[in-house]
């Protein structure tokens, strides 16, 4: 009998999915990870053949580092996630996962992926896999370009963006820096132009997404 471990930080989901798999004839167990639990050791002790692994494990963080540890045990891994960003999904494949499945998928789709693994077949088509990896490469290239755009900002523009990230308005920035509102607005326009965005909110979102290093000296 194929042994399956369902690893998810939501106990209800982990146990419900394990129950459904047991009704299909599998030896399924739900594992709810905590910082005190070594998931790979639990899987090894259970002798699991397949692991259905949630990407976001709550307090334990993202499960990407677990994938090579589980694969080293000879376990097959399907990452089940609510994520849709290609770069994050591709990272699962690049770390060794046999497949990635969205949590929006039906139980029948999940079951089909499990049966394919048992038959030593890939749980996702090569076309889907290659498309995902290609989209991730394109996304990463765009993000590298965006990161380079931050290097084009002047010192004053970096400080202006830093203030925008703190929720300050143009008027508040002008008051803090003792410069005219016209000058501040000019700095903001320059920031938007160099980052190739259309709004202050988009500029702040890009800075967060790209993990921009904020200046040490603030306005």
Residue 218 lies in a domain: no
Tens of pLDDT, residues 16-34: 999 999 999 999 999 999 8
Residue 140 lies in a domain: no
* Angle formed by the axes of helices 86-94 and 126-150, nearest 10°: 120
Q: Work out the average pLDDT over 40-69.
A: 91
Same domain membership, residue 90 and residue 155: no
Same domain membership, residue 95 and residue 47: yes
Tokens of 3: 């042994």
Of the residues 111, 135, 159, which one is the last residue of a structural domain?
135
pLDDT at residue 30 in the model: 95
Same domain membership, residue 36 and residue 128: yes
Sorted by sequence, the CB contacts under 8 Å of residue 134 that are 6+ apart come out as none
Same domain membership, residue 116 and residue 46: yes
Give pTM, 2 decimals: 0.65
Same domain membership, residue 69 and residue 98: yes
Residue range of the domain that includes 131: 3-135
pLDDT at residue 200 in the model: 93
Residue 130 lies in a domain: yes
pLDDT at residue 164 in the model: 94
Residue 217 lies in a domain: no
pLDDT at residue 216 in the model: 65
pLDDT band at 218 (very low <50, low <70, confident <90, very high): very low
Tens of pLDDT, residues 126-176: 888 888 888 877 777 777 667 778 888 999 999 999 999 999 999 999 998
> What is the chain's mean pLDDT, rounded?
89
Same domain membership, residue 103 and residue 190: no
Q: Which bin fits 33, alpha (ψ -120 to 50), beta or left (φ > 0)?
A: beta
Same domain membership, residue 10 and residue 58: yes
User: Torsions phi, psi of 100, nearest 5?
Assistant: -130, 135
Tens of pLDDT, residues 159-169: 999 999 999 99
Query: What CATH number should be reported for the domain holding residue 181?
Result: 1.10.10.10
**pLDDT above 50 for 11:** yes
Same domain membership, residue 87 and residue 11: yes
Of the residues 102, 135, 168, which one is the last residue of a structural domain?
135
Buried b (16+ CB within 10 A) or exposed e, 101-125: beeeeeeeebeebbebbeeeeebbe
Residue 52 lies in a domain: yes
Query: What CATH number should be reported for the domain holding residue 8?
Result: 3.40.50.2300
Same domain membership, residue 176 and residue 124: no
Same domain membership, residue 171 and residue 120: no
Total number of domains in the chain: 2
Same domain membership, residue 130 and residue 181: no
């Amino acid at each position: 009998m194929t042994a399956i471990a369902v690893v998810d930080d939501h106990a209800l989901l982990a146990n419900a999915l394990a129950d459904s798999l047991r009704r299909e004839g599998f030896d399924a167990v739900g594992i709810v990870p905590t910082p005190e639990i070594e998931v790979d050791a639990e899987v090894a002790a259970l002798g699991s053949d397949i692991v259905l692994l949630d990407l976001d494990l709550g307090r334990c963080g993202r499960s990407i580092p677990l994938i090579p540890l589980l694969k080293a045990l000879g376990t097959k891994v399907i990452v089940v996630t609510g994520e849709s960003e290609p770069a994050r999904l591709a990272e699962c494949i690049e770390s060794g996962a046999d497949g990635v499945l969205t949590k929006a998928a039906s139980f029948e789709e999940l079951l089909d992926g499990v049966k394919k693994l048992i038959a030593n077949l890939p749980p996702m088509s090569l076309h889907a896999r290659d498309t995902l990896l290609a989209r991730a490469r394109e996304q990463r290239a765009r993000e590298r370009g965006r990161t380079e755009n931050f290097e084009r900002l002047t010192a004053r523009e970096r400080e202006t963006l830093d203030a925008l990230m703190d929720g300050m308005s143009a008027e508040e920035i002008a008051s803090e820096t003792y410069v005219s509102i016209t000058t501040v607005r000019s700095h903001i326009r320059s920031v938007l132009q160099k980052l190739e965005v259309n709004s202050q909110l988009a500029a702040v979102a890009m800075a967060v997404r790209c993990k921009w290093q904020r200046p040490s000296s603030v306005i």
